[in-house]
Structure 1
Amino acid sequence: MSASTMSASDVEVEAEAAAEAASEAPLVEALFLIRFDKKVGYTIAWKRTKSEIALEDGVEYKSLPSGLHAVQSDLVYFTHAGYAGLSAFARGEGSAEERNATFVSVGVLVQNQGRFGRLGRAWLLAARLERLATTLADCQTVAPLEEFWAEQVTATKDKAANTGKVRGHSRARAISTVSALVADDETLPENHPARSILHYLDTFGPLAFRLQQAALLRKRILFVGNAPVRTACEFVYNLSVLSSISSRDTQHLLPGTEDLLRLPTLFSVGVHDIPTLQEWGQPKHGRHTPGERPMAGWVACTTDDIIATKTQLYDLVVELPTAVDTGGQQKRWPKIRTSDGRLVRASQRDVSRYQLLHKELFKQRNRPPASPKNTDEDTDPDDSNDDQAPLLSRDENDGKRAEDEFNEMYDDSIAEPMTWSRVAYQGFMWWATAGERDSYTTTERERDRELMGELASYSQSVETGIIAYFHRQTSLLVRSLSHIIQGHREEDSEDDDEDGGEGESVGEGEVVVMDRNDVSRMGLDTWSEADRVFVNEFGSLYFGRMVHVQGSECTGVGHVSHGKCERPTSERHQESGWLLCTRMPLKKKKKKKKKKKKKKKKKKKKKKKLNSQGWLAVADAIG
């Protein structure tokens, strides 16, 4: 699957982001003003709603998360009673009785758009809410709120009178916006949360791919950090968008997985949302491992550290570095831990992929503005022979600078260490090929580069190019695994035909066996145990099949003992040598009758698999 063949489809993939980018502001279902009273705490000082929406004991805490008193202003995204919420916080000057400061928040509730609506386009109201909050922080009037609400009432009546026209216009606008967004002279509008995707990648680096995997498995993911919370809320949005599954790929998935296409977003949550998080943690109906029902996944953020101590509420917690940490010379990377405390690290292939992505983004950021005068017709063909021409081209120079920048900020503690098996295998390949570069690794890098495509083709809308890149990764994963499973079904069908219909048919829940080449073609690290676990869970969740990676029990370096291969301990490594090995391919035990022709076919197939493995067992006494 090449990037070029996917370019046309990328436009469809970004339909939602594009529709949100240019649509009209949504109608407000509720408008409210929250003030902090030193005697009673947060109170709803003013409110208006179009329907019976209960605001008390909810929105006042969601609109003013813990820690906002330390910042001057902020934007907070949240959910309430099935609506998307957005509030603008502002800090004003107060009297001595008010501790010389006033804290207000102006918020709205809007309807979510569609089945998987994230924000209901509430971000289009951000600028208006910020102006209102700044004004009301220094005065007690509510006249601006009354005016805003009157506008909404009028707009609602107009929409009701033109329901058919509005629907037709919205549909046409959404379609036309898709192509408009990716044009050379188009960018995402101000306040669109997707504009922070570059900051998201800078913050997480190679760990962004691990977060994508967890989100694809629809885990419960909690970002924990300090105020301001706008960045964390936008990270929630970004992760949900990057881990979405395109509607084009649903045909490959198991029926009943429609609810898994996108990860639900809760945005900012606090202590008062703990009952809601407990409810979301209850098993829901859906297809998963036989006998198991998946939890309802979500992604949210909080400034309340106490939620992070309640490990039963989440599957993954992401500790965000503070603004002070990121301002130092040494970059502070986020810490990602499972609910049982295990640290999540990026694979070595994740690091390699991020280096490619970082290099492309570096070129985009340092690209000189296009000038109409600098055309090919104006270029002197003899300029390339000028003695004053640079020795390195701009692309080569930018690539070198990007590599230096990455090496300066990179910390190998965020990545899985190189396994003994990987080191030994690479050493053997270097020896076997007389020092030539490992063609297997080279092939992986070429695939990764092709999958990334040319971000330059997106010009000003580089954020859209990044989203498309992550979606291509997901599409590659879905289609590759679907192809492998389909291949197993065809093999089993042939076996049944040749055996006269005898033997069990392979169906949902049966094990699908993959080799390291399959894992590599899916864009994963063949040496990473975490990637093997991910493939198994992904196959179970979306295809109802258990996936076993050939050699996963002992891939690479192990100690030979009584014909078995065991991983070496440091003591055993010091006492004796060890072997570079892999297990034989798994054999299916369900077939009893086999014809001679089938046996020959099996032998050829088996030999081909072993050859593609690269090696079966290479002894090398080290240590």
Structure 2
Amino acid sequence: MSNPLEPDYSPPKIAACFLVNFDTSVGYKFVWSKVNEGLDLTGLEYKCLPSGLHEKDSDTILISHKAGNRIYYGLCKFFQNLGDFGSNEQVDRSNVKMYAVGILCEPLTPSASMKSDSSWKPNEFVHNGWEYLEDLDATLRKFVAQREFQNFELFEELYSRLIAGGSTRSTKKIENHLLKKLPVFLQTLGPLTFCLYKQALLRKRILFFQQNHSKVTNFDLGAFTYLLSLISIVPKGIEIVKNEQFAEDESDESNLYSRPIYSIGLNDLGGTLAGSASTIGCTNDSILMYQRNIFDYAVFIPCEEFDEPFVVGAKTLTNNHGHTPSSSDGELKSTLKDYYKFKLVYKDYFNRHKCGNNSTSQDDASSIKTKSSTFSSRFGTQFIKYTNPKVFGEYELESEPSWWLESATAPISWREYIWSAFSWFASAGTVTETVIENSNIGYSNGKRTGDSQDNSILALDSSNSEENVKKNFIELVELVGNFHKLTKKWFYLINEVVIEELDLDIDGNGVHQALVNRSKISIELTYQDIIDMELDPYSHEDLDFVKEFVTLYWGSVVENVEIGLGLSSICC
């Protein structure tokens, strides 16, 4: 990831700057703009003022816009003069001035002369002008305060500053980087983070829904789409066995990432971005939940109607048109292993941040499992070993929301109950206790440590010193690296299984040469393989994930995936 704190970091170039107004009599309208030649802004005005903004004094909206064959990223700063009216006064909306000033940035187009990290997709997705937010906000507020709504001199001056790059200064502005929203992302989604991470790795289309009176801002919601894309990207250096005679276009890297398209609305239904493959978006338009073919999973963010997030499949929503969705409709939940991986990540970040520990490595050194994790069995020991999940409650964080386990996590399956009972008989009644190795999840010398009672335990250091800003940013990069480490592990494990099955002499003729004229194969993964992947061998969702994961990335070599669970399969 390119570091915006580095001295040679350059903010993006501006492709367009514009001012949008919403008036109850004429609707949405561009009232001023400066646009590069050939760039058409048609339809963008609706994205700048999404549904529900009338409830807020100000907000930030992240946007994407496709013009020709190029995708532009940008953002808008919204403000309305509700402060001019008394809190108890009945507001006539025709007297309210609603404006959004926005920018689109020139797409990041890496060249041979640029740093290699400039070609990394997440850098393209965050190339949206977050560096200019404070200037946009200050200019818009001044414009509304002056009440000279036909005088756009302030925006002419703004545009001159933006194209000169003169509005970026100080480390304070790093607070506007989307990575800084990662703590809010984890707090809002809880263990569902891992569910969505896995579905994004399968390149499912995911759409975040924000209802009225949402508990997160539009800026937060837009950042969520970027963060989910970021944690689910396939890291560099991953090797995948491919058979060229069955492989699709070698230059096609679409499976390696999900593209955030940020805010979308009804006006986007006729476009090419909404509903396209491997996309992650967000919307304030509830009607979109009943539209077919624009998402595979809908993520509902906590709002006035429901206090907890939940995830629903597209089929469930479209088959229940007119029915208000609720968490009872949710068909995607975390497994107990997801739940504990999430708690480890959550608590580990808090402990390091609280203690000021800032050790990191350039290659995602921290694992989801443990900083010193090593491979065993075929490739590794699992972080959590258990046969009796009921004792998991002993390890709860004191500040842990109850919905993490009660609503976001699937209960133990009958398969696991029966298999646990079978194991108990097979071991002559010996009870194996839950063991959590090196977890540091709220324990010190066998006793629970004093956890913060603040539900915002992931809040960043409030100090704005340059040292703390850099430290916090690096901690967040390391946190993302945890997910990338797990992704690397999955790719490494499956790739080795495929190579073993093919019985290839890699040192001799090479993988590609050895695959010439070979048909696709079937592979069988064992119970231990699933454990080594830190997934739940008793979860149908995890087993389906593994099968789809293999066929998506090794489809040119593997035709069929079987998962042999031994005696546990008797209990399906």
TM-score by length of 2: 0.70
Distance 1:242 1:547, change over 3 A: farther
Aligned to 2:461: none
Please give the alpha-carbon distance, in whole angstroms, between the structure 2 residues aligned to 1:532 and 1:409. 24
1:122 counterpart (116, 126, 129): 129
Structure 1 position 433, deviation (Å): 4.3
1:570 alignment counterpart: none
Does structure 2 retain, via aligned residues, the 8 Å contact 1:532–1:549?
A: no
Q: In the alignment, does 2:142 pair up with 1:135?
A: yes
Q: Deviations over 1:203-227 (max 9, x none)?
A: 1111111101111111111000136
Q: Which deviates more from structure 2 when the two are superposed, residues 468-477 or residues 305-314?
A: 305-314
Q: 1:39 aligns with which of 12, 25, 46?
A: 25
Seen in structure 2, the aligned counterparts of structure 1 residues 368 and 90 have a Cα distance that, compared at 3 Å, is same
Q: Which amino acid aligns with 1:541?
A: L
User: Hey, what's the Cα distance between the residues in 1 that align with 2:239 and 2:357?
Assistant: 40
**Correspondence 1:244 to 2:233:** yes
Aligned positions of 1:529-540 closer than 5 A: 529-540=540-551
1:198 aligns with 2:193: no
Task: Tell me if structure 2 keeps the 8 A contact 1:426–1:438.
Answer: no
Q: Aligned letter for 1:269?
A: I
Query: CA 1:363 to 1:279, structure 2 compared with 1: closer, same or farther past 3 Å?
Result: closer
Query: How many residues end up aligned between the 2 structures?
Result: 449
The answer to whether structure 1 residue 105 and structure 2 residue 83 are counterparts is no
- Paired residues of 2:203 and 2:279 also in contact (CA < 8 A): yes
Distance in 2 (CA, whole Å) between partners of 1:402 and 1:152 is 49
Q: Is the 8 A contact 1:519 1:525 kept in 2?
A: yes
Partner of 2:497: 484
- Conservation of the 8 A alpha-carbon contact between 2:11 and 2:165: no
Structure 1: which 5+ residue stretches go unaligned?
1-14, 157-185, 282-295, 327-331, 371-398, 494-500, 559-566, 568-623
Matches within 5 A, 1:415-454: 415-433=409-427, 438=432, 442=435, 446=437
CA contact (8 A) 2:190 2:342 kept: yes
Is 93-102 or 311-320 further displaced after alignment? 93-102
For the Cα contact (< 8 Å) 2:522–2:559, is it kept in 1? yes
d(CA) in 1 for partners of 2:272, 2:205: 9
CA positional deviation for 1:131: 1.2
**Residue 156 of structure 2 corresponds to which residue in structure 1?**
146
Q: Give the CA deviation at 1:417.
A: 2.0
2:344 equivalent among 352, 356, 362: 356
Matched residue type, 1:142? F
Give the equivalent residue in structure 2 for 1:262: 257
Answering whether residue 267 of structure 2 is matched by residue 272 of structure 1, we say: yes
1:293 corresponds to which residue?
A: none
Change (3 A) 1:17 1:536: farther
Q: 5+ residue gaps in structure 2?
A: 86-90, 110-118, 317-329, 359-392, 442-457, 459-469, 507-513
Report SS of the residue matched to 2:298.
strand
Q: Is residue 189 from structure 1 mapped to residue 179 from structure 2 by the alignment?
A: no
Higher alpha-carbon deviation: 120-129 or 243-252? 243-252
Residue 613 of structure 1 corresponds to none
1:79 is aligned, of 64, 69, 81, to 64
**Are 1:410 and 2:404 counterparts?**
yes
Q: 1:188 to 1:406 in 2, by over 3 A?
A: farther
Aligned-pair CA distance for 1:24 = 2.8
1:438-481 deviation per Cα after TM superposition (whole angstroms, max 9, x unaligned)? 48x74xx549899xxxx9xx963321121000000111111111
* Aligned twin of 2:536: 525
Tell whether 2:74 aligns with 1:61.
Answer: no
**Contact 1:21/1:189 (CA < 8 Å) preserved in 2?**
no
CA deviation vs aligned residue, 1:310-363 (integer Å, no higher than 9, x gap): 1322111111112x468xxxxx33111111116111112111212222332342
Q: Following TM superposition, by how much is the alpha carbon of 1:406 offset from its aligned partner in structure 2, in angstroms?
A: 2.4
- C-alpha change, 1:462 and 1:409, in structure 2 (3 Å) is farther
Aligned twin of 1:573? none
Q: Is 262-271 or 146-155 further displaced after alignment?
A: 146-155
The residue correspondences of 1:89-104 to structure 2 (distance < 5 A) are 89-93=78-82, 99-104=94-99
Q: Which fold has the larger relative contact order, with Cα–Cα distance below 8 Å and residues 6 or more apart in sequence?
A: 2
C-alpha distance 402-299 of structure 1, shift in aligned 2 (>3 A): same
* Structure 2 Cα separation of the partners of residues 134 and 63 of structure 1: 16
1:236/1:22 Cα in 2 relative to 1: closer, same or farther (>3 Å)?
Answer: farther
Partners of 1:21 and 1:192 within 8 A in 2: no
Give the root-mean-square deviation of aligned CA atoms: 3.6
Equivalent residue letter for 1:413:
S
Larger radius of gyration: 1
Q: Give 2:55's aligned residue.
A: 70
Change (3 A) 1:210 1:410: closer
Aligned to 1:550, what secondary structure does the other structure show? strand
- Shift in Å, 1:491: 7.5
Q: Give the 5 Å matches for 1:593-604.
A: none
Aligned-residue offset at 1:540: 1.1
